[in-house]
Amino acid sequence: MVQLLLPAVLFLSFPEIVSVTDRPNDAGDRLIISVSMPDEVQDAAGLLVWRTPADQESWMLVMVEGLPLESEELVDGYDPDFPLLPGTSYHYMPGLLTLSGDTLRGPVFTNAEIPVGSWFHTGEVPTLVACLVFLALIFYYFQRAVRGANFYLRPIAGIEAIDEAIGRATEMGKPILYVPGLSTIDDVATIASLTILGRVARKVADYQTQIIVPNTDPIVYTVAEESVKQAYLEAGRPDSFDPNSVFFLTSSQFAYVAGVNGIMMRERPATNFYLGMFWAESLILAETGSLSGAIQIAGTDAVTQLPFFITTCDYTLIGEELYAASAYLGREPRQIGGIKSLDACKVIIMTLIILGVAAFIVDFVAGTGFLVMLRQAITTPEVM
């Protein structure tokens, strides 16, 4: 009898739920539980929290926290096995887990707020302002470009060398090999590569030079064929288009590489283009092309493959230079306006970084604490 009464004597003071409030800036799937722990809790290993919908009595253990608590504010709803439903009223019940494995339950809390989703995340105001500034710059430069403004674009060696490489192939009477990467049509690098292919094919049509475009994806092959055909049509030479110049090789990675390498050694193209998404095959392709004596222009946003292209190719478009290449080649006003707006955003970001570093140094030396107050004023604290 004494052993049965012992837990009740030790836990006459239970943890108490003070409030359950809706967490702001979420989808209505989180509640903040404020817990008041007793000053002295003996033989207790953890805090337990049960939850049930207000119109039911199906209590579920949704939280187990070790003692002592790091914070008396707990967030319910993180566990995907026990989600909170927006617009549903809940009841909560705290409890204790003893060192002997027993569970003791406290009083039920029935005044919990109903979780409601927020329409606007107040902590993302700086992001909203940045997006509005970015959109304003885009429309501003779009309008200026359409009106005929002459924008300066910094020279990129790889893009400026395209005309030279095509002209070299024409003079030597050798074909041009264009590899649009090994990814699918939903890859941004592949889309950029196909756009550049259209520009290159237009110049090839003007110079009456042969172009070879092997593909590893059926959909990319179809789009590439239409791009080249359209380029010959725009050049006024639709009859010069060779349907066999754009073809599907294979969908196997290294079988495709072996096939392209065979084309290099047999046809001996004067210029090789590697533009798109590449993986482990990049060095094999570029090294074979280098041995064949061709001028090589590569471009990719795959960071892991850039060192191989830079080492073995004459020119390399790095990252976003691949995306900007079509605007450089076509000089289409809206694309030029997009590039200038991105450049303006970069200038703003770099200026803010420099000003922030300078302000931090001054604030650290002067010890004013101004930056801390500014950060607290413009940010919303996140409750974990």
Taking CA atoms, 358 is separated from 257, 344, 353, 362, 376, in Å, by 51, 21, 9, 6, 19
Residue 99: per-residue pLDDT: 86
pLDDT at 3: 40
pTM: 0.70
- What are the residue ranges in the chain where pLDDT is below 70? 1-13, 41, 375-384
In the prediction, which pLDDT does 132 show?
Answer: 94
What domains can you pick out in the chain, each with its CATH number?
A: 2-105 (2.60.40.10), 122-138+336-378 (no CATH), 151-331 (3.40.50)
What is the per-residue pLDDT for 299? 96
In this predicted model, what pLDDT tens digit does every residue of 66-105 receive, in sequence order?
888 888 899 999 888 999 999 999 999 999 998 888 888 9
- In the sheet that holds 90-98, the strands lie side by side as 60-66, 44-53, 90-98, 103-105
Question: Which are the contacts of 315, defined by CB distance < 8 A and separation ≥ 6?
Answer: 157, 158, 161, 296, 297, 298
pLDDT of 377:
65
Sign of CA dihedral 343, 349, 353, 359: positive
- From residue 42, alpha-carbon distances to 66, 97, 101, 102, 355 in Å are 14, 11, 14, 13, 54
Site of tokens 């889309």: 191
For residue 1, what pLDDT is reported? 38
pLDDT digits 0-9 by tens, 174-214: 999 999 999 999 999 999 999 999 999 999 999 999 999 99
104's tokens? 């003791």
> Residue 45's closest CA among 113, 95, 90, 117?
95
CA distance linking residue 357 with residue 339, whole number of Å: 27
What is the per-residue pLDDT for 257? 96
Query: For residue range 354-363, what is the model confidence (pLDDT) as tens digits?
Result: 998 988 888 8
